[in-house]
Chains A and B, each alone.
Chain A
Amino acid sequence: MSPRTRHILELVLDNLVWFMLVFVLAVFSIFIPNFFQLGIFANIIEASSVLGVMSIGLALVIIAGHMDLSVESVAALSAMAVGIMFCSSGIGLGLQLHPEWLMVPVSLAVALVVGAVIGVVNGFLIVRLKMSAFIITLASYIWVRGLVLVVSGGRSAQDLAPAIRWFGIQRLAGLPLTAWIAVGCFVVFSLILAKTPFGRHLVMIGGNETATFRAGIRVNRNLIIAFVLAGAIAGLAGWLLAIRTSGATANLGVGLLFNAFAAVVIGGVSLKGGVGTLPGVYAGVLLLSAINTAINLMGLPANFTQVIHGLLVLAAVLLDAFKQTIRQRLA
């Protein structure tokens, strides 16, 4: 194999998920009526904003060699906290701040703090007390969702303050601001992961925690920061979720965790830790969102959609496994 062919092949393998995304979009555009239009592509990006943001936090923890199953419930609790404070219908307290724009940073801070606090609890129990991340965050997944039910009483908060809802309505270059927030998060955290010592240390910890510790890197501190970041980012996802649905219901975000895991895996992050990039994760998120949109437009009988969704995700993961095989042969 010539060096040039090898170089091209490696480029394709490194960005396989992006090629898959382009391929899938092309196939859907050809075969699904009304799919090929700018509005639908904008919808795909918009619909992926909540899942995308949530996947960033999850990916950080997984790259560091751990796991956070609580992100979905954390997002729901943050959304409910914002909903209760800033919605005017249902259980919303209709809190008003003057000037009105103040509600944006305050609500965002509420969501981030709620998420970060749960991240601190998770991080402390997992890193300091050396408990299993799987078990601790599974417990958090359950008790935090329970807390949503407790604080809401099962009722919903609706009619989010217009100043906050503005982000869901206003568009910049055809995309709602919520989608730009998600894109911005991917850019910022991709740079953090690739260009800062903290990001590089996370990858090293995920690759070999003991060796990283022996190299003099503060493993525990970095891991706790990763869990706090995952919580805070999940809080941000909750804030976006509240904006997108103009409020919060007790079951908001149910099922997002599994999609976030799928996106992270499709995006090339290894569940064993130490491998993965955030642009890949974003491509995974867009791929899932494109599949969802295609299913919405195909008008299939309702009971078939889950099967098709699952099979398409499986196909994406199998392609990723195929990529690993080719890479091994190239090495």
Chain B
Amino acid sequence: MKRLLLSVFGILALAFATLTPAFAQSKGTVYYLVPTLLDEFQTGSVSALELFLKQVGYEMKTLNADNKTDAQQSQMNDVIALKPKAIILAAVDFNALKPSVEAARAAGIPVVEFDRQITATPSDFTSVAGTVEIGHIAAEQAEALLKAKNGSVKGKILQVLGDPGDPYTLDIQKGFEEKMKAFPDVKIISLPAMQWEASNAGTIVADQILANPDIDLIFSHAAHLSVAAVASLEAAGKKPGDVMLMSSNGAPVGLDLIRKGWLNVEVEQPLYAQAAAVAMFMDKVANKQEIKPGDYDVLGLKSVVTKEAWGPNIKIPGAAITKANVDNPAFWGNQKPPTDTVKSVE
């Protein structure tokens, strides 16, 4: 028994010694506070951030809040005590995390907002696609689809939201409806799929397709909701193209639905570029250097850094994915991370 214990300790010590030099070469540890891992975009963001931050010399550790605001607040407190080089925060709730962001910065730890913009308090860097803008792009696509089908921009849209407690979906809704206001002949029915759960979306579509058989277009706020929507349409005897479909986030399942002819458009969140931008500016963030406004090339996408009231903000445009460009490897849904190495901004 004693020999066994000694062997175990020996192996552990050896492993620790082997790992220590690797840590020593790192520029430091960055923590990523991810809101949930029950969503492919978030899971993808962990691997993308890990990949790009490693390329610029940082080690990344991830904490999952399971969509709970209080859990993320506690995680912020814990991470502040660990004094990392920086914290990357994708907030569960934009406003509730404001005091935590302020506490981290007061402790001298820079905070980067990822994907979910917090405008109520300054942070050191923000990398977003812009959820309201995703709604705008979706509206432009809806406009084109309805015009092609009905001759003018008129008809009925079923908007399947995510959870109504999630600002992410509310922002997309805001952007979408803001732009669609220009078309009074379009009726929008909006219903939430509680907890972003796919079968809830399926039930909504099954009910609505009966109550409103003249629905022209279904817009789901995530690709996995579209999968359930398609299942309901299929069960109702519909074929690809009978009802137009559109969703946002660009997950792999959405791209598959485009290839099968069910989905007309997927509005992509540029996950790889959003993550790459964080890595490109991490040295400046960690060393508290000024980030200059202007145009930057992020993985081939023209992106703009602006100085906002809440700090430097990079906005990377989302793109509309259709059958014509669905195989483009730049879309994260194709699961082909860029081979080019990200370099720190000088």
Contact = CB atoms under 8 A, between A and B. Distances in A.
Interface residues of B, number: 39
Contact of B227 (A247, A296, A299): A247
Contacts of A169: 234-235
A310 to B, nearest CB: 12
A325 interface: no
Contacts of A158: 227, 253, 256
Interface in B164-182: 164
Contact of A33 (B40, B211, B231): B211
B278 interface: no
A153 interface: yes
Interface stretch (B140-148, B187-195, B288-296, B309-317): B187-195
B203 interface: yes
A155 B191 contact: no
B14 interface: no
Contacts of A216: none
Contacts of A255: 194-195, 197
B55 to A, nearest CB: 22
A253 B231 contact: no
Interface in B4-42: 36-40, 42
Nearest to B162: A302
Contacts of B37: 149, 154, 250
Nearest to B188: A299
B211 A297 contact: yes
Given A34-B211, A302-B161, A245 B231 contact: yes
A328 interface: no
B57 interface: no
A5 interface: no
Consensus secondary structure, chain B interface: helix
Contacts of B164: 302-303, 305-306
Interface string A155-199: 110110000010011000000100000000000000000000000
B256 A159 contact: yes
Contact of A40 (B43, B196, B211, B235): B211
Contacts of A245: 198-199, 202, 227-228, 231
Nearest to B237: A169
Contacts of A35: 211
A302 B256 CA distance: 29
A165 B229 CA distance: 14
Interface stretch (A13-21, A43-51, A60-68, A201-209): A43-51
B227 A253 contact: no
A246 interface: yes
A176 B235 contact: yes
Contacts of A176: 235
A187 B27 CA distance: 65
B18 to A, nearest CB: 26
Nearest to B191: A296
Contact of A296 (B43, B208, B252): B208
Interface string B200-240: 00111011101110000000000010011011001100000
A173 B235 CA distance: 14
A154 B39 contact: yes
Nearest to B259: A89
B206 A47 contact: yes
> Which of A159, A252, A296 has the most B CB atoms < 10 Å from its CB?
A296
A102 B230 CA distance: 25
Given A158-B253, A303-B164, A46 B38 contact: no
Contacts of B199: 50, 241, 244-245, 252-253
A216 B53 CA distance: 67
Nearest to B187: A299
A156 to B, nearest CB: 6
Contacts of B211: 33-35, 40, 296-297
A34 B210 contact: yes
Contact of B38 (A33, A249, A297): A249
A169 B234 CA distance: 7
B197 A251 contact: yes
Given A46-B206, A299-B190, 10 more contacts: A89-B253, A149-B37, A154-B42, A244-B202, A249-B38, A250-B38, A254-B197, A293-B207, A301-B190, A302-B161
7 contacts: A34-B210, A43-B210, A90-B252, A245-B198, A292-B203, A299-B189, A301-B190
